[in-house]
Amino acid sequence: METPKLRKIIHIDMDAFYASVEQRDFPELRGKPLVVGGSPEGRGVVATASYEARTYGVRSAMSSKKAQQLCPYAIFVYPRFSVYKEVSRQIREIFSRYTDLIEPLSLDEAYLDVTEDKLNIGSAITIAEQIKQAIKDELGLTASAGVSINKFVAKIASDMNKPDGLTFIGPSKIEKFMEKLPVEKFHGVGKVTAERMKMQGIRKGSDLKKLTEERLALLFGKSGKFFYNIVRGIDNRAVKPDRETKSISSEDTFGSDLDKGSEMYERLLQITQSVFKRINQYQLFGRTLTVKVKFADFKQITRSISFEHPINNENDAYQAAKTLIEQTDFGGKLVRLLGVGFSNFHEAKPKQRNRIEEQKLLF
């Protein structure tokens, strides 16, 4: 049997994205601890921090109050989303010189499949080097790249030598690499799942590898099968070009069904927070909120609500999710799964208008 051709996948992620753009455009901010988002008076949360501020422990999603305490001399600036969107468009234009198989994950990161590249360069490492150089020369910014044969490993690799890194993990190294990888680095493993895994003695890839596919499916639902394959270096997910994001959601199947109301609300809050993290990264704010609850008897209920304006903060989202979920049997029955999703993004409108304008130009 012919062995299938190995793919060449690159994951690119800009370094301290919003903060680097600010330092590029305002030279007086260079070399300084900078916080984008929030305010020194302690309102709001940090979107990102410059590497100088990170040495004090300032991180994305931290309250500005905490950031201010950790780094009293930090400079706070408001995000300029239109500029970040423009830079995002520019980096995608650079990617498109090499391949059309580009799957953006947020404004500052994307997967590229360069198994066949437009310039016949052949080496994914060389392509990653050239892309990083073009971003530096043309945009005055740095990016980190991960190169491997699948999306999962490429994404982890891009994070390994930040900033300005390039990490290649070849096929012969993948299984060993996966065995050593801590579980919290696995796709789909948040804090809660990582804790649950640790309670069962599962700390890294090699621990997951000892479990059968059935056992993993039982413990972790759909993600279980993914874990089974990925610890063996198998991730066949394709790089999907031009994916239009129609919804952003997150759900969690619990190891043991939840019976306490307080615990359910806590989980609902955690899930809402994890969805919001991605919403912030995409800068896509939805008008429609959907919650999903599956009870121990596998009965599943989804409830949606649409607002006139997009939901742009975590608190409003959580309150709305709470109200929706209280309209189900929530509280009266054991809960197996909770999910929160957003759709109906306000971005969709301008896009449609553009299309109509383009059509007008054509006729």
CA 46 – CA 59 distance, rounded (Å): 7
- Report, in Å, the least distance between residue 61 CB and ligand DCP: 4
**59-78 mask for ligand DCP (x: CB under 6 A)?**
-xx-----------------
CA 230 to chain CA centroid, Å, is 18
The verdict on 91 binding ligand DCP (CB under 6 A) reads: no
Sorted by sequence, the CB contacts under 8 Å of residue 137 that are 6+ apart come out as: none
**247-266 mask for ligand DCP (x: CB under 6 A)?**
--------------------
CA atoms within 13 A on the CB side of 303: 14
Return the closest-CA partner of residue 22 out of 81, 62, 102.
81
Binding partner at 281 among Mg ion, ligand DCP, none, C-beta below 5 to 8 Å by kind: ligand DCP
The verdict on 280 binding ligand DCP (CB under 6 A) reads: yes
Binding partner at 278 among ligand DCP, Mg ion, none, C-beta below 5 to 8 Å by kind: none
339 touches 292 (CB < 8 A): yes
Give the number of residues written for the chain: 363
215 touches 225 (CB < 8 A): no
- Main-chain phi, psi angles of 33, to 5 degrees: -70, 115
CA 71 – CA 69 distance, rounded (Å): 6
- Report, in Å, the least distance between residue 24 CB and ligand DCP: 13
Binding partner at 235 among ligand DCP, Mg ion, none, C-beta below 5 to 8 Å by kind: none
Judged by CB under 6 A, the residue of 80, 162, 198, 203 near ligand DCP is: 162
Long-range Cβ contact pairs of 226-234 (< 8 A, separation 24 or more): 226/187, 226/188, 227/186, 230/152, 230/178, 230/186, 230/187, 231/178, 231/179, 231/205, 231/206, 232/175, 232/178, 233/150, 233/153, 233/171, 233/174, 233/175, 233/178, 234/150
- 87 vs 289, which CB is nearer to ligand DCP? 87
Judged by CB under 6 A, the residue of 16, 135, 147, 291 near ligand DCP is: 16
The verdict on 52 binding Mg ion (CB under 5 A) reads: no
**94-113 mask for ligand DCP (x: CB under 6 A)?**
--------------xx----
Q: Is 109 a catalytic residue?
A: yes
3-state helix, strand, coil in the chain (%, to 5): 45, 20, 35
The verdict on 314 binding Mg ion (CB under 5 A) reads: no
- Report, in Å, the least distance between residue 234 CB and Mg ion: 27
**16-35 mask for Mg ion (x: CB under 5 A)?**
-x------------------
Judged by CB under 5 A, the residue of 9, 10, 12, 14 near Mg ion is: 14
Catalytically active residues, by annotation? 109
Catalog residues that contact Mg ion under the rule CB under 5 A. 13-14, 17, 108
Binding site for ligand DCP (CB under 6 A): 13-18, 47-48, 60-61, 108-109, 162-163, 277, 280-281
